[in-house]
Structure 1
Amino acid sequence: MAKQQHKPWGGVFEGDVDPRVERFSESVSFDHRLYAQDIRGSIAHARMLAETGMLSADERDQIVAGLEEIGHEIAAGTFEFKQELEDVHMNVERKLTERLGDVGRKLHTGRSRNDQVSTDFRLWIRDAIDRTDQLLANLQRAFVDRCDRDHGIILPGYTHLQRAQPVLANHYWLAYTEKFGRDRERLAECRRRVNQLPLGTAALAGTTIPIDRRHVAAALDFEGVVANSLDSSSDRDFAIEFAFVLTLIAEHLSTWAEEWILWSTAEFRFLRLPHAYCTGSSIMPQKINPDVLELIRGKTARVVGNLTSLLVLIKGLPLAYNRDLQEDKPRVFDSADTVEASVELAAAVVTGAELNRPAIHERLERGYLDATTLMEHLIKVGVPQRTAHEIIGKLVGVAMKRDVPLAKLELAEFQAAHPALDQSVYTVLGVEQAILAFSSEGSTAPAMVAKQVALWKERLGLEP
């Protein structure tokens, strides 16, 4: 059994640690991912201690050099992490102490593992936010890049998975560009709250050591310091908020994946998926399965589950730090990994897919996509909306019985429905003319869509 006295906290203890406890409580198997952030934070802490007179310049230089050397060893894969040392922080500190003796033991002056862990985790999340933001920007560019390729293509828009109104393909691509744009805004807002330094709040009450938290904050590019030590020690809002933003990103990806899975079926035939992101069947030779899209949709469940776990994790925890909080990192790591991989692959699929123009055009006049435009045409000549809705509904019923589009009805039939329906109805019937009839800001009107495409190209740094 491992000796309690060999632990960094073991002075007051008698007896040995049950090895089952060590296996149960270790976190180095997953928090080793924080090593770069841990070393960076410790270097900033050591330099601050030297500035405040708690370390000599020589001690500072020895610690900084030792930490940098350990970082290189971990990156090279030659560093041995030990389970009995519990976490990445103690593994790094123990190795430093083995090499520097009492000089290494001075590093932990004025801090606790509570604020050290929180600092490392905030640094890691900040990096993950930046990576995710860049990947989302690439996905947005992939959608906006399609706008030149698919200019002028009209798609059926759906509500309740029933054909509703015509929309430009570019309007559809921009809809997802907007969704991922809001995700990027949420990431930026989350980053602002993440980017507050907890180091120096120590275990829960602060420290009597003369430290300079602002010095460390500047060295680590934090925008400020956490104001309350009790709050800092117990806080995981920043991690849960990040997990929430990742969940919304995953949900948006899942919606997109579901639509493109449907669009790639023989029933829709709207889309040809790039084969590099599909797989086949072990028994059916004709199959081209949209496995990447299905997995993006499926992995969303993991991200949602991770967020739920985090919310339950902090439910009812008393102030300040509790060991429960150790369980936050596997959930956040998994969500970040999952979303990053999903967004990266999504951009590749968006770039490589092709719309099946003939199949789309062949069935575009089905579903009476121009019915709402015809109703609004009637409203514009003074007919109340509810009355116009009923009149056009009856005309759609006539056309459905004959299995013809509205544009195939005779003028006499329109005028029998309402005298205001004169020859001008034919200027708004048919999907192409219905598209041209739109005029509201944010609509699928060609001029509005073209303006939005230009704006997004400018925002994303794309050629006009």
Structure 2
Amino acid sequence: MSQQTQQPAIPKSCYQLWGGRFSQKPHQALQALNNSLPYDSRLYADDLDASKAYAEALHRAGHLDAAEADKLVKSLELLRFDWVEGGVKFQPGDEDVHTVNERLLVEITGELGQRLHTGRSRNDQVVTDMKLWMRKAIRETLGRVSRVIETATRQAEENLGVLMPGYTHLQRAQTVQFSHWLLSHAFALREDAKRLIELRERANVLPLGSGALAGNPLGIDRLWLAERLGFSGVTPNSMHAVGDRDFVVDFIYCCSLVSLHLSRLAEDLIIYSTKEFNFIRLDDSFSSGSSLMPQKRNPDSLELIRGISGVITSNLTGIMMTIKGTPSTYNKDLQFDKEYCFQSFDKLSQVLEVTDGVLQTMQVQRDAMESALSTDMLATDWAYYLVKKGIPFRQAHHFIGKVVSLAEERGVGITEVPLGELQVICPAFGSDIASVADYANNVSQYDVIGGTASASVVEQLRLLKKFAKELRKQS
């Protein structure tokens, strides 16, 4: 037979933002589940900023006199000092950062503090706080991305002219420059940064003044509020505003893409740092050892970068599935947006810092890279040689395929097939085919925009340096 759980009395010091129509307090299990302070307490500064602006808006609308508004603003600033100094203590009735800030404000100002929430709901309050926080998070993320791009460009510039095998399907394909390969990852990060910049601009509309869902009936000037808080405009529909978390999805999506691109870079570097490749040597400070095998130098830094991409991407799935099940406007499920969002930001910040360190300290093993070049990688250039002789590319491709097959049968490189036998396969071969056996000379032909020739790579460096410099100004 079940027994009703006895609930302890609510402490007199307990401060609640609601409860007048309830005869019982929430069950302790619900209180624990409902408490979002472990996550949203980091919004304290954003909550204070938005509250100060709202106090001023209430004064402009005639609901507070100048002295009252001034007292609220100054008291809210005092609370900021308490948060910074670690003097804020949570109490059993504190559900979230909004409850804490209001409780502390009332302790300082009395009944005046209770008037600050006039016309405002936690529904429009929290989404405003999240947007304020996200502006800073995007700025910090852009700063970290720009540093990785700058480090990649420095490494690429210092190693300009170093040749390596380029791969497709992880099979040797064509000769490329190491710099060209490294900058391919930097350009992926450039696109990530562009997405974040676009998101910052698109999401920068103010939800405050939307109330719980119906809007604000008290003459609050939302356009003034938007300007006061640095928003470019206001949300046009209050129901959409309080239930909107698309900007959170977008932010986590952007974080996911950055992490995926870092993961791909990490995977390349893990392969290239093996004894079998030995293209890259990781610094000891970004490697680790084995508890059993003394000789091991494990690329744990890169493996963690690769692994964390799964964590961030799972957060994207989590927030999307949370939103999928909610009806319109605000629902308590949306409380979990902060957990997904903050973890994605924190984890991405960590891996960007580690990636930057890895790129700064790694050693490029030029001799090993260039020793890995093999004559089969000349096949495409030999096909282009025949094209320049007037042979249609499909036929040239077929002829070079026969040359490769013949060389494989004999266990030699294609450059070791005698000219006479090449001419049997295709009469267009001449003695000048020997000039196409030079890897560096072949690379220099790819001078198209985006190509692997030095002139093209130098232009890529210029573009990335310019972009990173501009990005620094925005972060």
Both proteins in one fold, TM over 0.5: yes
For 1:394, give the aligned amino acid.
K
87, 97, 122: which is aligned to 2:96?
87
For 2:437, give the aligned amino acid.
L
Query: By how many angstroms is 1:319 displaced?
Result: 1.1
For 1:247, give the aligned amino acid.
S
Query: Hey, what's the Cα distance between the residues in 2 that align with 1:17 and 1:336?
Result: 32
SS at match of 1:164: strand
Q: Does 1:266 align with 2:280?
A: no
46, 49, 52: which is aligned to 2:58?
49
Q: Does 1:12 align with 2:21?
A: yes
Query: Hey, what's the Cα distance between the residues in 2 that align with 1:43 and 1:2?
Result: 34
Q: Where does 1:442-457 land on structure 2 (aligned, <5 Å)?
A: 442-457=450-465
| TM-score normalised by the chain length of structure 1 | 0.96
Query: Hey, what's the Cα distance between the residues in 1 that align with 2:372 and 2:430?
Result: 27
Query: Hey, what's the Cα distance between the residues in 1 that align with 2:108 and 2:34?
Result: 27
Q: Write the deviation string for residues 429-450 of structure 1: whole angstroms up to 9, x where unpaired.
A: 2322221222432111222112
Q: Which sections of structure 1, spanning at least 5 residues, go unmatched?
A: none
Report the counterpart of residue 440 of structure 1 in structure 2.
448
Q: Write the deviation string for residues 270-317 of structure 1: whole angstroms up to 9, x where unpaired.
A: 110011111111111111111110000011110010000011000032
Query: By how many angstroms is 1:6 displaced?
Result: 5.1
SS at match of 1:110: coil
**Structure 1 runs (4+) greater than 6 angstroms displaced:** none
SS at match of 2:349: helix
Report the counterpart of residue 187 of structure 2 in structure 1.
178
Q: Where does 1:277-426 land on structure 2 (aligned, <5 Å)?
A: 277-365=286-374, 368-426=376-434
Query: Hey, what's the Cα distance between the residues in 2 that align with 1:272 and 1:291?
Result: 13
Contact 2:15/2:103 (CA < 8 Å) preserved in 1?
no
For 1:41, give the aligned amino acid.
A
Query: By how many angstroms is 1:379 displaced?
Result: 2.1
Contact 1:34/1:124 (CA < 8 Å) preserved in 2?
yes
Query: Hey, what's the Cα distance between the residues in 1 that align with 2:270 and 2:38?
Result: 37
Report the counterpart of residue 64 of structure 1 in structure 2.
73
Query: Hey, what's the Cα distance between the residues in 1 that align with 2:458 and 2:411?
Result: 35
87, 107, 128: which is aligned to 2:116?
107
For 2:457, give the aligned amino acid.
V
Query: Hey, what's the Cα distance between the residues in 2 that align with 1:443 and 1:124?
Result: 40
Query: By how many angstroms is 1:264 displaced?
Result: 0.6
Q: Where does 1:152-301 land on structure 2 (aligned, <5 Å)?
A: 152-301=161-310
Query: Hey, what's the Cα distance between the residues in 2 that align with 1:141 and 1:2?
Result: 59
SS at match of 1:10: coil
SS at match of 2:164: strand
Contact 1:296/1:342 (CA < 8 Å) preserved in 2?
yes
SS at match of 2:172: strand
Query: Hey, what's the Cα distance between the residues in 2 that align with 1:197 and 1:455?
Result: 35
| TM-score normalised by the chain length of structure 2 | 0.94
Q: Which sections of structure 2, spanning at least 5 residues, go unmatched?
A: 1-7, 471-475
Q: Does 1:33 align with 2:42?
A: yes
Q: Write the deviation string for residues 4-37 of structure 1: whole angstroms up to 9, x where unpaired.
A: 9952111111122211110111101111010011
The alignment covers a number of residue pairs equal to: 461
Q: Does 1:22 align with 2:31?
A: yes
Report the counterpart of residue 473 of structure 2 in structure 1.
none
Contact 1:150/1:170 (CA < 8 Å) preserved in 2?
yes
Contact 2:157/2:461 (CA < 8 Å) preserved in 1?
no
Report the counterpart of residue 429 of structure 1 in structure 2.
437
Q: Percent identity?
A: 39
For 1:184, give the aligned amino acid.
A
